[in-house]
């Protein structure tokens, strides 16, 4: 079976090379390979990892120096349902561009890049936290039909391979179609997402859940989903996202 998997992976890689020449799909200038998501070193250097100092609750990065752990004003005002949220990268213009291509433009060739960025930052910390399972933020069936896939589930699948944790896709469900969060204020985002998720078929039975999504901004989406996870029996919920928004992304 392992040999067959290796052979199939080789065929897939050769197939991708036929569809996309081994050149960066962003700058169209430098060489880039399928395992790099067809993004060259120069373009990848524009993606900025999250570094301390950051809010210990939501992971929002801040400039300057802080003497110890702190929570930002946004977290102090909100009743967030997750214990913590962390992200691999800052949601700068370059990061949001590739996420948008992946999410809405079927640019699935970017998946190896996202896998690498998230895995490098998240795996060790998830193990240190002793997470029990991964839960992707679900899409409503209407959105799934429009998009053809759930980007959170794709990220979750690769993170599951790296951590060895079980992925629970039937623990929570999206109960209604919500409007996009992009142009909403914080209070509007909270109202838009309130009650958008509910427990589904599987119980989480006291497990520590790692909730996975692509971008987090105010935490409205992930907080309501974390609430549903706890109703499904989760003991604690931590959040990992590919990027941490700074005011303009949609979550």
Among residues 225, 171, 217, 157, the alpha carbon closest in space to that of 196 is found at 225
Residue 202 to residue 74: CA distance in whole angstroms: 32
Among residues 53, 26, 50, 61, the alpha carbon closest in space to that of 40 is found at 26
Residues 6+ apart with CB under 8 A from 119: 158, 159, 162
One of 1.10.3470, 3.40.50, 3.90.120, 3.30.70 is the CATH number of 46-244, namely 3.40.50
Q: Quick one: pLDDT at residue 251?
A: 41
28: left (phi over 0), alpha (psi -120 to 50) or beta: left
Phi, psi of 198 (to 5 degrees): -150, 160
Helix axes 93-104, 111-129, angle to 10 degrees: 110
Among residues 26, 146, 174, 162, the alpha carbon closest in space to that of 96 is found at 26
85 contacts 217 by C-beta, under 8 angstroms: no
109 contacts 98 by C-beta, under 8 angstroms: no
pLDDT tens, residue order, the chain (251 aa): 444 444 444 444 445 555 667 999 999 999 999 999 999 999 999 999 999 999 999 999 988 777 778 888 888 888 899 999 999 999 999 999 999 999 989 899 999 999 999 999 999 999 999 999 999 999 998 988 988 899 999 999 999 999 999 999 999 999 987 656 566 556 666 666 677 899 998 899 999 999 999 999 888 899 999 999 999 999 999 999 999 986 433 34
Q: Which two tokens stand for residue 2?
A: 């392992």
Continuous H helices in the chain: 2-19, 41-44, 73-77, 93-104, 111-129, 141-147, 151-163, 186-193, 220-231
49 contacts 89 by C-beta, under 8 angstroms: yes
Q: Quick one: pLDDT at residue 182?
A: 60
Domain ranges of the chain: 1-44, 46-244
Residue 114 to residue 111: CA distance in whole angstroms: 5
């Amino acid at each position: 079976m392992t040999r067959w998997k290796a052979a199939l992976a080789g065929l897939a890689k050769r197939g991708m090379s036929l569809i996309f020449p081994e050149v960066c799909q962003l700058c169209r200038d430098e060489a880039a390979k399928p395992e790099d998501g067809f993004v060259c070193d120069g373009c990848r250097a524009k993606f900025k990892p999250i570094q301390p100092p950051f809010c210990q609750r939501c992971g929002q990065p801040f400039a300057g120096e802080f003497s110890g752990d702190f929570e930002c004003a946004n977290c102090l005002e909100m009743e967030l349902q997750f214990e913590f949220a962390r992200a691999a990268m800052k949601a700068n213009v370059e990061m949001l561009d590739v996420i948008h291509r992946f999410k809405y433009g079927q640019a699935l060739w970017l998946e190896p890049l996202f896998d690498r960025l998230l895995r490098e930052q998240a795996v060790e910390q998830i193990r240190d936290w002793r997470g029990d399972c991964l839960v992707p933020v679900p899409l409503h069936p209407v959105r799934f039909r429009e998009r053809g896939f759930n980007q959170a589930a794709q990220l979750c699948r690769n993170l599951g391979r790296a951590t060895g944790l079980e992925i629970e896709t039937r623990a929570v469900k999206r109960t209604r179609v919500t409007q996009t969060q992009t142009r909403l204020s914080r209070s509007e985002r909270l109202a838009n997402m309130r009650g958008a998720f509910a427990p589904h078929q599987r119980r989480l039975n006291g497990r520590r859940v790692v909730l996975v999504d692509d971008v987090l901004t105010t935490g409205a989406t992930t907080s309501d989903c974390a609430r549903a996870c706890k109703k499904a029996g989760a003991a604690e919920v931590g959040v990992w996202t590919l990027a941490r928004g700074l005011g303009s992304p949609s979550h």
